[in-house]
Amino acid sequence: YFLDVNKRGLGDVANDMLLYGSKIYIAVNKSGTLEVVEATTGKSLRQIRMESTGGQSKEPRRLAAHGGKVYVTSFDDTVTRIDTVSLAIDGSVNVGMDPEGIAIKNNRIYVANSGGLNWANGYDNTLSVINLTSLTEEKKIEVGTNPGTVQTDSQGDIYLTVTGNYGDEPGAFKVIHSGSSTVETIAGIASPQKFVINDNKAYIISGAYGVSNSLVVYDCLEEKIISDSFISDGTEIPIMNNVTVDPVSGDLFVASTDYVHPGDLYCFDKNGKMKYRLTAVGINPSVVVFQ
């Protein structure tokens, strides 16, 4: 679609996508760009170069938005701030190694420092807490090896997955309660991967990397697992790559991939019954946005 509209390719490895206002922002990892497109037409408004000193790609990873700004984590150990009017970079802050997930709540930016590119010498294990107003890092909280996705609930509690080292350090689903720096592990969720929080419920992909997964549902207010398997109609999804919820309808979307062939997108109603499936949508489908 992007190619048809703009007569050029999007780039190498579109890693995240965010709808904010009337624009869609796409982090294109290996190409080192942030593509800004008009949401209604798909027309490119600007391609922002995300380059470090020397012209190398910053490898943009994940996106979040607040107050007319878009924030981008990048594998050059930074978070970059983009003004959504000028569509220009207007700030940056150093964080930990190879930041991945990002969430914003109560005038703070929370960034998971994975250290994923440094795996041979040791992953990072911290969550950066950044003051939203001053764009300065206030502290780092040790959360566990190789943190990935970060989300918040309505109470300001911070939830995150730590992936571990794919060996003797297992993954875990964790929470930092609002106003605290204490990290608590939530038991009963094996090998958590990506997750999303909607209406104070966390939908968590659970299962070892690259094998069949289940979708666990955790109630953030009641602080308990309410389902070990959200999918209620027997639909089997080989490998879940990401999960997204439509905040209006409550429909849940699961992207599936085998990392080689075009993957599928499944839509489920709020009761876990499949409504439809889009087959072969592209290699490694991941992010869904709703307009």
Greater model confidence, 175 or 259: 175
| Sheet of 108-113, strand order | 99-105, 108-113, 126-131, 136-142
Is residue 261 exposed (0-12), middle (13-18) or buried (19+ Cβ within 10 Å)? exposed
Range from 73-82, 103-112, 202-211, 227-236 carrying the lowest mean pLDDT: 202-211
Beta bridge partner(s), residue 102: 111
Tens of pLDDT along 83-107?
Answer: 999 999 999 999 999 999 999 999 9
State the DSSP code for 118.
G
End-to-end CA distance of the chain: 17
State the DSSP code for 3.
H
**What per-residue string of b and e applies to 127-151 under the rule 16 or more CB within 10 Å gives b?**
bbbbebeebebeebbebbbbbbbbb
Greater model confidence, 248 or 238: 248
Residues whose CB is less than 8 angstroms from the CB of residue 42 and which lie 6 or more positions away in sequence, other chains included = 1, 2, 5, 6
Mean pLDDT of 255-283: 96
Which amino acid, one-letter code, is at 21?
A: G
Residue 125 pLDDT = 98
- Asked whether the predicted pLDDT for residue 210 surpasses 70, the reply is no
pLDDT > 70 fraction of the chain, expressed in percent and rounded: 99
Tens of pLDDT along 105-157?
Answer: 999 999 999 999 999 999 999 999 999 999 999 999 999 999 999 999 999 99
Is residue 246 exposed (0-12), middle (13-18) or buried (19+ Cβ within 10 Å)? middle
Mean pLDDT of 175-179: 97
- The domains of the chain, with CATH numbers, are 2-211 (2.130.10.10), 212-291 (no CATH)
- Asked whether the predicted pLDDT for residue 78 surpasses 80, the reply is yes
Mean pLDDT of 240-262: 95
Residue 238 pLDDT = 80
pLDDT > 90 fraction of the chain, expressed in percent and rounded: 93
Between CA 203 and CA 216 the distance in angstroms is 6
- Asked whether the predicted pLDDT for residue 212 surpasses 90, the reply is no
- Asked whether the predicted pLDDT for residue 77 surpasses 90, the reply is yes
Per the prediction, the chain carries an average pLDDT of 96
Residues whose CB is less than 8 angstroms from the CB of residue 124 and which lie 6 or more positions away in sequence, other chains included = 96, 97, 98, 113, 114, 115, 118, 146, 147
Mean pLDDT of 35-61: 96
Residue with token string 């010498």: 121
Model pTM? 0.96
Nearest 10 degrees: Cα torsion 176, 180, 182, 185: -20
